Chain A
Amino acid sequence: MADYPGKLGEIIEDFEELLDRRERTELLIYYADQFVEVPDAIASRPFEENHRVPACESEAFVWSDPQKDGTLKLYFAVENPQGLSAKAMAAILDQGLSDQPPAEIAKVSSDIVFTLFGNDISMGKGTGLTGMVSMVKALAEQSLNAQQN
């Protein structure tokens, strides 16, 4: 089993213990309900295109804000009001990774999408959600490079 940093590990464990699809759906909706949109202090509409998650049908955007303690705070926007899966993914990445250093965030595998949502998600959905994780990883790597330079 892969090792996940911080609270993300606990969240992943919760999902791995789920017995059926109904439980999974309810837990994902629980996270979607906790989605918090990016504050104006970080970004406001129209959002810059270079923060857009490619191939995400729910029009998701991601930002990162380096903290003084060396960790990265992640922010998200989901423009499709019915993009519940994107909101759930964003809330899990926010809660699971926001207090982690970029080196740890960059190591997270985008395969967590399938642990969280199950292997039967559609290709389009899998592509969009995987893209959100990839974007978070890319932002962590950028932050890491900036720290090293």
Chain B
Amino acid sequence: MTDITERGYSNPDILVSTDWVADNLDNPSIRIVESNEDQLLYSSGHVPGAVEVDWVRDLNDPLRRDYIDQGAFEALMSRIGVTPDTTVIFYGDKNNWWASYALWVFQLFGHSNAKIMDGGRLKWEKEGRDMTRDVPEYPATEYKAQPRDDSQIRALRDQVLAHVEAAKPLVDVRSPGEYSGERLHMEGYPQEGAVRGGHIPGAKNVPWSKAVNPEDGTFKTADELTAIYSGEQGLNAGDDVVVYCRIGERSSHTWFVLKYLLGYENVRNYDGSWTEWGNSVGVPIEK
């Protein structure tokens, strides 16, 4: 894989390599954060010095379907020893799908000083780098966050409805089977947590994982990504784009790709996604 700086990204600084992380394990100005889909992985071994941020326990409100509030975010940052000046380096399983999601939530509170380790946990493991089960403890910090700002990078249902009515572009990053709304192959198996199948009218289907190289989890080059999102789907960096999936986790990965690697200025993640849209009364659906 070519060096990050040679891949033509709009914001190459948003990524760090596994080499860089290995050289900066003791760097006091960074905090390495593992965020996974699989809750057992961090405890089974992680990058030395890394803390865990779990999206269910740490980022979701325990009662409402929503993210934590400003106070809870400040408490989280204090617990993991992060100040506003700390550069947070996210990595995780599933080709950094959950790392992107955590980075997106951190952005809602204005912690933009954050990067992703290219290749994530998969690349780190494949390279045979050190892992530990030791859970580090860092001195608690004082952290003052900005109130959560949902207006820039998050889309809510009614905004998406207006977006559809204005015929603006959407990207559905689920699998083709989820997008088409086809039934799963055996009766009685869990569906996608929605009473209706299909997709939001007008949405293009670009499964999130098309943006990564499957062998090591690194992001594809800007040219390769442009071929997918512009060449195949006709999107442009100036477009107002909404991305979604089932609950907004996979689509935060595509949000990251469009916003930081390709430089799209207006990309919002619809975290309500199909589990909201496919259960909503009266909204339009396409199959």
* Cβ contact within 8 Å between A54 and B40: no
* Cβ contact within 8 Å between B39 and A125: yes
* Cβ contact within 8 Å between B39 and A121: yes
CA distance in complex: A60, B250 (Å): 19
* Cβ contact within 8 Å between B37 and A29: no
Cβ distance A25 to chain B, nearest Cβ, rounded Å: 5
Say if the beta carbon of A12 comes within 8 Å of chain B: no
Cβ distance A119 to chain B, nearest Cβ, rounded Å: 10
* Cβ contact within 8 Å between B56 and A54: no
* Cβ contact within 8 Å between B190 and A121: no
Flag the segment in B136-144, B181-189, B276-284 that touches A: B181-189
* Cβ contact within 8 Å between B39 and A124: no
Cβ distance B61 to chain A, nearest Cβ, rounded Å: 13
- Candidates B44, B94, B192, B246; contact of A84 at CB < 8 Å: B44
B240-280 interface with A by 8 A CB criterion? 246-247, 249, 275
Say if the beta carbon of B172 comes within 8 Å of chain A: no
* Cβ contact within 8 Å between A120 and B43: no
* Cβ contact within 8 Å between A138 and B39: no
Say if the beta carbon of B122 comes within 8 Å of chain A: yes
CA distance in complex: A22, B193 (Å): 29
Say if the beta carbon of B220 comes within 8 Å of chain A: no
Which residues of chain A have C-beta atoms less than 8 A from B188's C-beta? 134, 138
* Cβ contact within 8 Å between A57 and B39: no
* Cβ contact within 8 Å between B39 and A127: no
* Cβ contact within 8 Å between B43 and A82: no
Known contacts A49-B185, A55-B189; is-contact A124 B37 (Cβ 8 Å): yes
Mask: chain A, 120-138; 1 = CB below 8 Å from B; 0 = not: 1111110100110011001
- Candidates A54, A121, A124, A134; contact of B247 at CB < 8 Å: A124
Say if the beta carbon of A74 comes within 8 Å of chain B: no
* Cβ contact within 8 Å between B94 and A120: no
* Cβ contact within 8 Å between B185 and A88: no
- How big is chain A's contact interface, by range? 20 to 34
Say if the beta carbon of B156 comes within 8 Å of chain A: no
CA distance in complex: A25, B37 (Å): 14
CA distance in complex: A25, B41 (Å): 9
A71-96 interface with B by 8 A CB criterion? 82-85, 88
* Cβ contact within 8 Å between B56 and A85: no
Q: Which residue of B lies closest to A123 (CB)?
A: B193
Cβ distance A116 to chain B, nearest Cβ, rounded Å: 11
B123-171 interface with A by 8 A CB criterion? 125
Say if the beta carbon of B219 comes within 8 Å of chain A: no
Cβ distance B157 to chain A, nearest Cβ, rounded Å: 18
Which residues of chain A have C-beta atoms less than 8 A from B189's C-beta? 54-55, 131, 134-135
Which residues of chain B have C-beta atoms less than 8 A from A123's C-beta? 193, 247, 275
Which residues of chain A have C-beta atoms less than 8 A from B57's C-beta? 120
- Candidates B43, B246, B247, B275; contact of A29 at CB < 8 Å: B43
Cβ distance B232 to chain A, nearest Cβ, rounded Å: 25
Say if the beta carbon of A105 comes within 8 Å of chain B: no
Cβ distance A103 to chain B, nearest Cβ, rounded Å: 18
Given contacts A22-B43, A122-B37, 16 further A-B pairs with CB under 8 A are A25-B39, A25-B40, A32-B40, A50-B186, A54-B189, A57-B94, A82-B93, A82-B94, A83-B38, A84-B44, A85-B38, A88-B40, A124-B37, A124-B247, A124-B249, A131-B189
Q: List 15 A-B contacts (CB under 8 A).
A: A22-B43, A54-B189, A55-B191, A82-B41, A82-B94, A82-B121, A82-B122, A84-B38, A85-B39, A120-B56, A122-B37, A122-B56, A125-B38, A125-B39, A127-B193
B interface residues (Cβ-Cβ under 8 A, vs A): 37-41, 43-44, 55-57, 93-94, 121-122, 125, 184-186, 188-193, 246-247, 249, 275
